[in-house]
Amino acid sequence: MAEGSDEEVRERLKAALWFAVGKMVDEESLRRNRNATPQFIGALTEMVWAQIENVALDLESFSHHAGRTTVTTDDVLLLARRNQDLFGIIKEAVDQQKASKAKGKPNR
């Protein structure tokens, strides 16, 4: 079964993002006893979408520059290099995953 055109997929993804952003804003609004307008949620969704597009393009460029067709954790770490806190969190997660995989492999 065909998934639909790229535009249809894009619209479904954007709708899912709008729903997720709206849910997070609603939860935070309730927690803080504040209100958020649908226009705010829409604007925030557009901003997040634009950021996601930029991140995707950067990751694709890093991968292509390295001669690969697949994005790796190295590309993600390169993207996060200017945000030390984010870099540290991602690096720690990558290192934990590598250590976990290394424990599961038998020694030869």
Supply the DSSP symbol for 106: P
At 99 the pLDDT is 93
CB count in 10 Å sphere of residue 21: 20
Q: What are the mean pLDDT values of the chain's consecutive 10-residue runs (108 residues total)?
A: 80 97 97 96 98 97 97 96 96 94 72
Nearest-angstrom CA–CA distance, 92 and 4: 38
Q: What's the angle, vertex CA 72, arms to CA 105 and CA 82, rounded to 5?
A: 120
State whether the Cα torsion 68-73-76-78 is positive or negative.
negative
